[in-house]
């Protein structure tokens, strides 16, 4: 995995280098070359939700061990936080530590003034109490935060954007780091070349669940993690350049090619460039078209174009994807996937096909964004509550099912079934995404265990009256009996769904005898044509169930029960069709029977 990330970084981040990093800065202290203060510049839009400042692609950067190495407190060069540089908003408990950082920041400006002379004037300005007071007042007016980043702007130029100090900075870091952790050359795990292993590796930022300062992907900070007498990251030997490369590659992927899946993050890329419209993984979050058929047809068209040679650049392409999450100070790789582009396009097309389901209005629902699919497995948030998602491991497994055409995890199926049951019991419409996931589980797991495509042909997006499953037919019967009760009593209160659905979906034989006997009282309250319509439906479904009602239903059969109930409910929600058929039956009833 890291080998592919490093190759990606060398293509996308050729300027990546240890000691440098891309940084976003919100403020700048503007001054003249002779050290006169001009003011404070706002470099971004503070009201923006994401990018709030100006990005410096190759800013100086020290790793955490370098900032505290040798028992000294150091700061970054040219770009630091507002409270460190100016003391604005400084917390009393941080005052002493910030003063040490401020002194180091100013000493760096003095040292670097040999290659950038204007930095000496900036250092003198930042030592002037009156100038610092004016800067703090202006920052207060602009509502800056102590944790915001601030830099220098001298005569309209940003030293952080210049390359004049780069060589000096490289020499400074070389003297700062000293010898490697092992003191001897080792073979790099990524390149296989002899290298001096980096003592520590840079942290990955932007991961859900991780510390704001970042999380370590490779770290050996405990004795239990080390072996063969090797210290720290010499246990996974990589040169500082390679460690920086994978950090830059991951940072680029997280910023430009990632999707948040609850508490996890999915990043993906291709060996050769793929346009966004041809990227099947983009469809999972932004399906093409307003109808489910559009997503499937897009996948078919893409595969056909590859087979016919109209997209030769995609034919031999390879995709790479993995899911990441944070656990405080550590980055966790949940899954790694790679394969042929054609296999990916086929898998995503099949994913949409398997998820296809009717809505309660009778029309096809979807296609479903992957985040919506995850959200359907948990309860809707109350007003003011943040949206909840399933745990990161479950999200990662479900994503793999979509990308690799694998069976749906049983944990996801069980959660979807429980969510649908709660909606039924509360007389709420279940999410079509949730019901689509139940259908996809039944299709994939039954097909993989029994072979063939029989389940695809029988478990359809809409109602299939001929499906040879007593559990499915029991679900249909439950929907018809509930609809009958509603038609007869109108104001039902706690109906048979609220009272009996949970028991009927697990132990049908204990419940349906009582429900069918009670249905006779409801039939007597209806017009004869409508009563005959319900009688015919109940009789037809009972015939399909067979001579005996199932005593118990497995978890999979409970999924069929829920699907049968939901799909029959979608048909019953069409009152015009029902009344028209009932009126036709009314006309067919003999006169003497009507009397």
Q: Where are the alpha helices (DSSP H) in 357-490?
A: 370-375, 392-404, 410-425, 432-450, 454-458, 470-489
Query: Region 251-265: what's the mean pLDDT?
Result: 88
Is there a contact between 515 and 481 (Cβ–Cβ < 8 Å)? yes
Instruction: Check pLDDT > 50 for residue 292.
Output: no
pLDDT tens-place string over residues 397-440 = 999 999 999 999 999 999 999 999 999 998 888 899 999 999 99
Query: Region 195-207: what's the mean pLDDT?
Result: 88
Query: Region 46-50: what's the mean pLDDT?
Result: 58
List beta partners, residue 326: 331
Task: Identify the helix (H) or strand (E) that includes residue 261.
Answer: strand 258-261
Residue 456's CB is within 10 A of a number of other CB atoms, namely 15
Q: Which residue has the higher pLDDT, 408 or 178?
A: 408
Strand-strand pairing, 194-195 and 258-261: unpaired
Angle 2-198-337 from CA coordinates, rounded to 5°: 10
Query: Which pLDDT belongs to residue 136?
Result: 95
- Residues 141, 93: Cα–Cα separation, whole Å: 24
Angle between helices 432-450 and 410-425 in degrees, nearest 10: 140
Cβ neighbourhood burial of 120 (10 Å; 0-12, 13-18, 19+): middle
- Residues 357, 375: Cα–Cα separation, whole Å: 17
Q: Which residue has the higher pLDDT, 155 or 294?
A: 155
- Residues 182, 231: Cα–Cα separation, whole Å: 7
- Residues 497, 499: Cα–Cα separation, whole Å: 5
- The band of 447, judged by pLDDT with boundaries at 50, 70 and 90, is low
Q: What percentage of the chain carries pLDDT values higher than 90?
A: 54
Report phi then psi at 160, rounded to 5: -65, -20
Query: Which pLDDT belongs to residue 494?
Result: 74
**If you average pLDDT over every residue of the chain, what do you get?**
87
Query: Which pLDDT belongs to residue 293?
Result: 53
DSSP class of residue 235 equals G
DSSP codes joined into one string, 320-344: EEEEEEEEBTEEEEEEEEEEEHHHH
Instruction: Check pLDDT > 50 for residue 453.
Output: no
- Residues 586, 595: Cα–Cα separation, whole Å: 12
Q: Which residues fall within 8 angstroms of residue 314, CB to CB, at 6 or more apart?
A: 274, 278, 302, 305, 306, 341, 342
- Residues 246, 237: Cα–Cα separation, whole Å: 13
Instruction: Check pLDDT > 70 for residue 145.
Output: yes
- Residues 548, 328: Cα–Cα separation, whole Å: 56
CA-based nearest residue to 10, from 252, 249, 265, 320? 249
The structure tokens listed for 257 are 């090619």
Query: Which pLDDT belongs to residue 580?
Result: 56
Q: What's the order of all strands across the beta sheet hosting 37-42?
A: 37-42, 27-31, 149-154, 80-81
Q: Which residue has the higher pLDDT, 221 or 530?
A: 530
DSSP class of residue 276 equals G
SS3 80: strand
SS (H, E, C) 136-197: HHHHHHCCCCCCCEEEEEECCECHHHCCCCHHHHHHHHHHHHCCCCCCCCEECCCCCCEECC
In angstroms, what CA-CA distances link 479 with 438, 470, 570, 589? 18, 14, 10, 26
Query: Which pLDDT belongs to residue 486?
Result: 87
Query: Which pLDDT belongs to residue 594?
Result: 47
Query: Which pLDDT belongs to residue 68?
Result: 85
Return the beta strands (E) in 61-131 as ranges: 80-81
Q: Is 146 left (phi over 0), alpha (psi -120 to 50) or beta?
A: alpha
In angstroms, what CA-CA distances link 305 with 272, 312, 340, 360, 563? 17, 9, 15, 36, 36
In angstroms, what CA-CA distances link 97 with 71, 87, 351? 12, 11, 54
- The band of 300, judged by pLDDT with boundaries at 50, 70 and 90, is confident
- Residues 103, 113: Cα–Cα separation, whole Å: 16
Query: Which pLDDT belongs to residue 573?
Result: 83
The structure tokens listed for 171 are 């020499």
Angle between helices 508-523 and 470-489 in degrees, nearest 10: 30
- Residues 21, 464: Cα–Cα separation, whole Å: 59
In the chain the first and final C-alpha atoms are separated, in Å, by 80
Buried b (16+ CB within 10 A) or exposed e, 489-504: eeeeeebbbeebbbeb
Domain limits, the chain: 13-174, 179-256, 274-313+338-450, 467-591
The structure tokens listed for 219 are 């770290």
Lowest-confidence range among 14-23, 269-278, 288-297, 379-388? 288-297
CA-based nearest residue to 237, from 305, 187, 288? 187
pLDDT tens-place string over residues 477-493 = 999 999 999 888 877 66
DSSP codes joined into one string, 531-546: HHHHHHHHHHHHHHH-
Query: Which pLDDT belongs to residue 303?
Result: 86
Query: Which pLDDT belongs to residue 63?
Result: 86
- The whole model's pTM is what? 0.78
């Amino acid at each position: 995995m890291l080998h592919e990330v490093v190759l990606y970084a060398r293509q996308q981040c050729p300027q990546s280098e240890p000691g440098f990093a891309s940084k976003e800065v919100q403020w700048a202290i503007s001054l003249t070359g002779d050290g006169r203060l001009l003011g404070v510049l706002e470099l971004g839009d503070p009201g923006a939700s994401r990018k709030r400042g100006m990005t410096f692609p190759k800013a100086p950067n020290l790793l955490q061990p370098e900032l505290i190495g040798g028992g000294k407190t150091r700061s970054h060069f040219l770009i630091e936080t507002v409270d460190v540089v100016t003391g604005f908003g400084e917390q009393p408990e941080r005052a002493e530590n910030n003063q040490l950082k401020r002194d180091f920041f100013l000493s760096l400006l003095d040292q670097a003034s040999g290659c950038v002379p204007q930095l000496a004037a900036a250092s003198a300005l930042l030592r002037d109490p009156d100038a610092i007071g004016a800067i703090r007042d202006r920052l207060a007016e602009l509502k800056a935060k102590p944790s915001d980043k601030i830099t220098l702007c001298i005569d309209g130029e940003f030293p952080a954007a210049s390359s004049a100090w780069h060589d000096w900075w490289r020499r400074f870091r070389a003297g700062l780091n000293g010898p490697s952790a092992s003191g001897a050359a080792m073979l790099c795990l990524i390149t296989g070349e002899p290298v001096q292993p980096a003592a520590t590796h840079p942290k990955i930022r932007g991961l859900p669940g991780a510390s704001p300062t970042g999380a370590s992907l490779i770290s050996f900070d405990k004795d239990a993690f080390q072996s063969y007498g090797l210290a720290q990251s010499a246990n996974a030997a990589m040169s500082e350049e390679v460690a920086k490369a994978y950090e830059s590659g991951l940072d680029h992927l997280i910023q430009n090619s990632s999707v948040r899946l609850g508490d996890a993050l999915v990043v993906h890329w291709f060996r050769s460039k793929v346009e966004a419209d041809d990227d099947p993984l983009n469809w999972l979050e932004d399906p093409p078209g307003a109808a489910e058929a559009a997503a499937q047809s897009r996948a078919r068209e893409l595969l056909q174009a590859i087979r016919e040679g109209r997209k030769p650049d995609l034919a031999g392409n390879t995709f790479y994807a993995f899911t990441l999450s944070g656990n405080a100070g550590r980055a966790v790789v949940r899954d790694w996937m790679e394969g042929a582009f054609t296999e990916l396009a086929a898998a995503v097309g099949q994913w949409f096909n398997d998820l296809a389901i009717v809505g309660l209005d009778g029309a096809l629902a979807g296609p479903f964004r992957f985040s919506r699919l995850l959200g359907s497995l948990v309860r809707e948030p109350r007003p003011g509550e943040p949206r909840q998602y399933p745990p990161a491991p479950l999200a990662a497994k479900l994503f793999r099912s979509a990308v690799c055409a694998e069976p749906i995890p049983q944990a996801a199926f069980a959660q979807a079934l429980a969510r649908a049951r709660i909606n039924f019991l509360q007389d709420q419409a279940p999410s079509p995404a949730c019901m689509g996931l139940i259908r996809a589980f039944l299709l994939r797991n039954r097909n993989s265990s029994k072979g063939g495509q029989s389940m695809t042909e029988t478990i359809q997006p809409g109602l299939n009256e001929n499906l040879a499953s007593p559990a499915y037919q029991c679900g249909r019967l439950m929907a018809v009996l509930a609809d009958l009760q509603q038609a007869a009593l109108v104001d039902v209160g706690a109906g048979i769904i609220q009272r009996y659905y949970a028991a009927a979906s697990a132990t049908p034989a204990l419940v349906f005898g009582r429900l069918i006997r009670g249905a006779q009282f409801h039939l007597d309250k209806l017009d004869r044509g409508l009563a005959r319509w319900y009688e015919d439906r109940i009789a037809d479904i009972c015939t399909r169930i067979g001579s005996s009602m199932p005593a118990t239903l497995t978890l999979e059969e409970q999924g069929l029960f829920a699907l049968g109930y939901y799909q029959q409910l979608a048909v019953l929600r069409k009152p015009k069709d029902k009344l028209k058929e009932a009126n036709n039956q009314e006309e067919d009833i003999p006169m003497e029977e009507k009397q």
